[in-house]
Amino acid sequence: MRPSAAIAIAVTTVAVLLGGTATASARPSAHDLPRLPAGFSLGVATSGFQVEGDNRDSNWLRYSDSGRVPERVGRAVDFHDRYAQDIALARATGATVFRFSVEWSRVQPAPGRFDPAGWAFYDRVVRAVVDAGMQPMITLNHWVHPGWEVDRGGWNRPGMADDMVAFGEAVIDRYAWARPSWVTFNEPTEYVRREVTLGGLAPSAIGIMTDGIVRAHRALYRHVHARQRDAVVTSNIAYLPIPGVEPFLEDVFPARTRTTLDVIGVDQYYSVSAGDVSASAAATGEFWRASQAPEAMYLVLRRLSQRFPGIPLYVVENGLATDPSGRRPDGYRRSDHLRDTVYWLQRAIAASIPVVGYNYWSLTDNYEWGAYTPRFGLYTVDATTDPTLTRRPTDGVAAFRRIAADRGVPNGYRPTRAPVACSLVAAPDSCVRPVTVP
């Protein structure tokens, strides 16, 4: 274990034993909750493999169809043919950003060969997003690479990074006109972990994949800025609320690429507090059993602003899992979770934490990497039982609309949940400097 990790755990343990010496870090009155500023980006997020259907051969299609994961992807929620309807639904929420990924295997089905039909699909998607008045946020790699790359060795092969750069540059050249923001790699550490777990990467090649992603990210960053000078480029952190572990993971990617990150992108979902280990439910796939503490958003942003001073923060993903009926054992509703989370974003802004955007994961229910059971969508879709794949609004839709229209929750709003006694989400800071609701 690295010394800093050991120190973090030690300090956390002391803080837990002391019962948390409460010194609230930010205490705005009920009347000074700032609205989300005019330039604040409010988006909805998706990814290609999880929603499109009609997939081409890829690492993930092979994992899906070989039984390595519980459920097959099938036609997902058919975004491929319903993109226009879904982009209209996104627009109707009041979102200003629409995040999606370009599937490498769809546009480049063979080495050196690009498929005009694959491009034509994304041309239509980008055009529809722009015509709807939203900014595209394009992810170049959301954990999926073509089957022909798998056959060549995948990320076990250092040359994979060069292929990824060539593909990414082609996407950037084609869509820079739409002035997107860019995510080079979605959650690099999770990509590596999943490749190892699912057999795509030898544990001995973790360094090759890690170095390859860092190298490809830097090259793609430079390419975006050559084509689109004022673009915002990031690669999002999969925030792991485990004391001692998260700082180590940040050393692996964002710390190595910080000079090529225009914003620190972060995906924040779960929290851990003293005595509550329910977040481990996320490891079993029963995401809806993981308890939620919405102030985790504030604590995570505060910690990242300290770790990466001078770089704005962007919440690239955040959301709430329910079971297929839309419920959770703790009764937390999507609308309440969303409002509570936005309250903590506004608190972060009040405390001068430089957060500039927030995307909701996800617009619709989708293929949760091996299962359709966890539901994250503002719109719910029964992918396995409803042949019509009807999009049905959850209570989250009206909440999102209100937030978008009002630029946040109003003064006087109180989160439905009080902050937990000792959140370890950004330990030791989160535990020794807890937040309060005035």
Could you give the residue numbers annotated as active site?
A: 317
Residue 209 or 240: which CB sits closer to ligand BGC?
240
Please report the sign of the dihedral spanned by the C-alpha atoms of residue 369, residue 372, residue 374, residue 375. Answer: positive
Sign of CA dihedral 393, 265, 407, 83: negative
| From 54-62, 184-192, 211-219, 333-341, span contacting ligand BGC (CB under 6 A) | 184-192
Q: Environment class of residue 418 by beta-carbon count within 10 Å: exposed (0-12), middle (13-18) or buried (19+)? A: exposed
Q: Which is nearer to ligand BGC, 356 or 371 (CB)?
A: 371
Binding mask 250-289 for ligand BGC (x = CB under 6 A): -----------------x----------------------
Question: Would you count residue 238 as binding ligand BGC (CB under 6 A)?
Answer: yes
187 binds ligand BGC (CB under 6 A): yes
Q: Which of the stretches 166-174, 186-194, 386-394, 423-431 binds ligand BGC when contact is defined by CB under 6 A?
A: 186-194
Is 59 a binder of ligand BGC (CB under 6 A)?
A: no
Q: Which is nearer to ligand BGC, 378 or 409 (CB)?
A: 378
By CB under 6 A, tell whether 103 contacts ligand BGC.
Answer: no
* Closer Cβ to ligand BGC, 121 or 376, answer by number: 376
CB of 27 to ligand BGC, least distance (A): 32
Question: For residue 237, what are the CA distances in angstroms to 190, 248, 256, 261, 267?
Answer: 9, 12, 13, 11, 6
Tell me how many residues contact ligand BGC (CB under 6 A). Answer: 11
Return the range that interacts with ligand BGC (CB under 6 A); candidates 185-193, 219-227, 273-281, 342-350.
185-193
Part of the chain binding ligand BGC (CB under 6 A), chosen from 18-26, 182-190, 210-218, 346-354: 182-190
Query: Does residue 186 touch ligand BGC according to CB under 6 A?
Result: yes
According to CB under 6 A, which one of 47, 55, 96, 341 is a site residue for ligand BGC? 47
Task: Name the residue nearer to ligand BGC (CB basis): 100 or 376.
Answer: 376
Listed ranges 183-191, 258-266, 301-309, 395-403: which one lies at the site for ligand BGC (CB under 6 A): 183-191
Residues 353-392 that bind ligand BGC (CB under 6 A): 361, 368, 376
Is residue 246 a contact point for ligand BGC (CB under 6 A)?
A: no
- Smallest distance, ligand BGC to C-beta of residue 50, A: 6
Q: Which is nearer to ligand BGC, 175 or 361 (CB)?
A: 361
Residues 123-142 that bind ligand BGC (CB under 6 A): none
Smallest distance from ligand BGC to CB 238, Å: 5
Question: Does residue number 317 form part of the binding site for ligand BGC (CB under 6 A)?
Answer: yes
Contacting positions for ligand BGC (CB under 6 A): 47, 50, 186-187, 190, 238, 267, 317, 361, 368, 376
